[in-house]
Structure 1
Amino acid sequence: MNILLKSAKIINAQNSELHLKKRDILIKNGIIDTIATKIEAPKGVKTVALKNLHVSLGWFDSSVSFGEPGFEERETISNGLHTAALSGFTDVVLNPNTHPLADSSSDIVFLKNASLDFASNLYPLGCMTMGAEGKDLAELYDMRNAGAVGFYDFKSPITNSNLLKIALQYVQNFDGLLYSQPLDVNIAGKAEVHEGITSTKLGLKGIPAMAEELQIVRDLFILEYTGGKLHIPTISTANAVKLIADAKKKGLDVSCSVAIHNLYFTDELLEEFDSSYKVYPPLRTKKDTKALIKALNDGLIDFVTTDHIPLNVELKAVEFDNATHGAIGLESAFGLLHQIYDLEKCIELLTQGRERYHIKENKFVEGNKASLTLFDPDLEYVFDKEKIRSTSKNSMVLGQTLKGKVYGIYNNNQLVLET
């Protein structure tokens, strides 16, 4: 598809000649052909002129769940990738959160084939252990060859320390990336929310910050012993940041992410017993959110994620104790993050992280592939169900005033715009 973006303000700090400049951008057959102050539309080229149009390199999300196969009522791959595109994401890493779980090369091949020909790219994770049961290693090498970008027993901690040790040693043979969920299950028990003043007041069992931090300490000790590459997903406490920062100073190959909602919301919202706010890791305190925000500013946390988890209504519209953890986050990601950071920092955070997964990073220059996100950063609006394109509607952001509207993306020679 050939298109001409008119009067687009470019947000790309890596290119000082274009950064914060308004330009016309001509794209031919998926390649950036010309960037100039003014371009007349050639014959047969679609002109895209949108109010307050801004454009950046395509956004990246390291943690999304859909439902297919097995939970198509939550989300299909097709609708999930369309939602990602309308939310500004050209590349998403898919969690093994399906039935059956992705623990073999054939499962990875299915996911790759099902995601062909879409504007947004899908990069699957495979389970680290068979059936995510934490007992026997899955077919890690075969899954890597089939296209898996990492290995993760989704939201399930690896309780067997020796198994993690062996896995870290094994994946070094092919530069594999392992995930370890930061939760000591013996400390957490059957708790549902953050342990603190709010949980005590409400009579809810709490997960202490220590449960996250003890697991991280264990994982980092093992990593120091074995070497290898470790990713700690969705950290949520102030001390977790310090532990990982210290490990990086030692030279350990460890990365971490944080869910955008853990930067914005706190456990005080649980006073209404609204299961929309029941997520894992749990919403923590204001002290924690401040520490996480600062850590992103300082580069101590590697990237943000939506931690998008669609759930059908019967899993959320129940008593708080019985509700399933999880919330969708793709559609509200930019508007929520832009409430916390200025525009340039927002785009920096939304575009970083690919190198951890050996995903090629594009550059905003003529002759390169066009992988772009289109948006208006200044539009303020109330986020309601009409803004949700996911099949599931389990959002914790409903009713919030957000800043920044995504128009869509251009990627893989396809233009996807909100209609």
Structure 2
Amino acid sequence: MKQMLKLGIVLALFASVACVMLALVNNLTSSVIAENKAKEVTQGLTVVFADADSFEPAPNFTPDTATTVKVESLYLAKKGTDVVGAVAQATGPTYDKATILLGMDLNRTLTGLRFLSITDTPGFGQKATEPEFYNQFTGKSANDDFAAGSDIQAISGATITTKGVAQLAKYTAYVAGEYLAQNYGGAAGSGSAPVIQAPATVFTYEEACKSLFPHETYPYAEFVEVDKDLNRIVRNMIVEKQYLVVVDGKTVGAMAAVRGQTYKEGGVVLTAVDMNRNIIGARIIELNDTPNMGQLTLEEDFYSQFAGKPVDGTLSVNGDIDAITGATISSACIADIVKVGAMEAAWVASSRGGTPAPEGSENYPLNEMYLEE
């Protein structure tokens, strides 16, 4: 018993000493880290605004934290005693997150952009730190749209990162430009603050139903779950949910949620049809695909392509549906899930007076472009 007590005391002493040492190391390293970050910012100021010979914190600047883009600091760029522009430090969502320094002169022209940090996917989003990408912002007007693919050349396989950085730069430029216009005679802007777009994500079932059958077009629509042989396997996919859509007692459409294989772990798509075997639209409920590639099927530009297609027509990629660059398999898999969902939803609709399936329509083609194990 005494031996155990002695051992316990020794262990407690070791633990106490270790905690004290850890605290000391943390204090030492945190100050070093803070000092290194400050040096990085100081060096970055001269890089993004090379014409200035000194910088100082902008007086009376309040950090802009109202949106997901946070403009945290603003520095006046000076040449001699004259203010010639400003440099802003801001953090915002990309595929993950990035912090930038952005320089701007009094004419609302960008003088440079550099990353203090970015945590996007190596080999894809990390390419934003290459000069070929970030040098595109130098010389642009803060009044430009900063649209990925037109104003800004997108990074191949990293569209989400491209859009995120462009949005981050656009909003930061607006904040810096407004400050310079109000305080140092800078050029006025061309409009109100840019709208910050939230990253695309999956829908809940409730969100998907309301998006596919909006109140303006389908007032007080009811979404009635039904069970017409649920959970059966159709073309290697599982039918998980079925709905009838009713407005004022009349069935106006149907939906089916189908689970199928994608590039990685699979996904669930809710597909809606009208009573005449036309696809109203599709919304992705579940997806865990490759960042910056297959995950781009969550973007409206992709899934909106299904709206208006005939249920009994083909949904072939790069024929009927434009595949996402670098994510052809994911695009094809989602298209196949939509096709099966549309056929199932149309079958449900036909039970309530919808147009029946034409003869032989059950033998429909799919892309079947699956990743080999």
- TM-score when scaled to structure 2? 0.21
Max Rg structure: 2
Instruction: Specify which structure has the bigger relative contact order, considering alpha-carbon pairs within 8 angstroms and separated by 6 or more residues.
Output: 1
